[in-house]
Structure 1
Amino acid sequence: MTPHDIGATVLWEDPERERLMAELVALAAELADLRVELADARARLEAFTRFHDRIMAPLFAELDGVEADIAALRARHDDGPETRREAEEARRRARESAWAADAARADAEGAERPRPPVGTEARRLFRDLIRRCHPDLAEDDADRARREEFTRRVNDAYARGDTALLAELGREWRGGDGGGSWPR
């Protein structure tokens, strides 16, 4: 039933409306098809990524291990600070790529992923934070609750090996929450 059928007055009707509506319906159908294609491409990419990681991650781990051994040999012959730093960096990369290889293997086997490697800086920050914010140091129940929540955040950051977040949490603990209620 149109406005003409019930006696209503129509001031103006766009002559292009039907064509534009048909075009809109066609474009919506095309968009739906493209979304299906995108989902399929993402699924294929994810499968390829898992396959690639399962094959290549152990090879990269082996390569990084060899490079770390070479850097360690160089550091033994040249005891300069730059050479030692390069050796430490190479060893860190080797640990990370070994972790990635273990994670790829666990994904392929459907096992639980291993924890990321935790560097010496993350370990130092974690220990320092826990010493300062541990709930056993609380003065009252409210302080204990704040410390328990903060300790949970510190533990989560450490479990992920997130050195940057641990450093940020250290600044947060030292800086307080603006109201001065965080112990220093």
Structure 2
Amino acid sequence: MARPSVKEQRQAQILDAYEACVARYGIEGATLERIAEQAGLARALIRHNIGNRDELIDALVERFIKQTRQEIDEMMDELPKRNRLKVLTEWLFDPAHSDTQFVLVSDALFMAAINDPVLADKMRKWTMEFILAIEKLITDDYPDTDKKLVSAVAAGIVGIYFNVESLTPLGKLDKLAKDSKQAVLLLINLLK
């Protein structure tokens, strides 16, 4: 297997730095100066390896979507043959599985999407892919369940999960996470 090129390594280094800056300062606050400082590179190298600010945002979004798709696929593959939905619920609401930087980056992308129709479309598609993955899991575990109920329960699970994850950076919300997991389990019990 070929080694990554210097440019590919540089791009990854820059995107890592950009992600850290977006998590800390938001999309607008993640300036080229801050990214360069975080990456330990000259600002000109950022432009040379990735491009202008719009290209940098596009690269971050594409990487974010690609990585999360891969993580979702891996998570689904690791689920047991039975009770997959309940095991997934345990994983989703386990604080050990939360990634504060990921949460802050996704929150920043959703906020930036308010003023960017192209980004909004990408984030909507990303959200719907996750909901559809949950719907498939429900259908696999509960094949005789009405499609409308499957859709409603999947939307409830994703909505509750996104809410809890978005509040994770605040810390000390263990009771909220525990109660939210219980709410999801109540939704799952509707499927029986």
- TM-score of the superposed pair, with normalisation by structure 1: 0.30
Greater per-residue helix proportion: 2
Larger Rg: 1
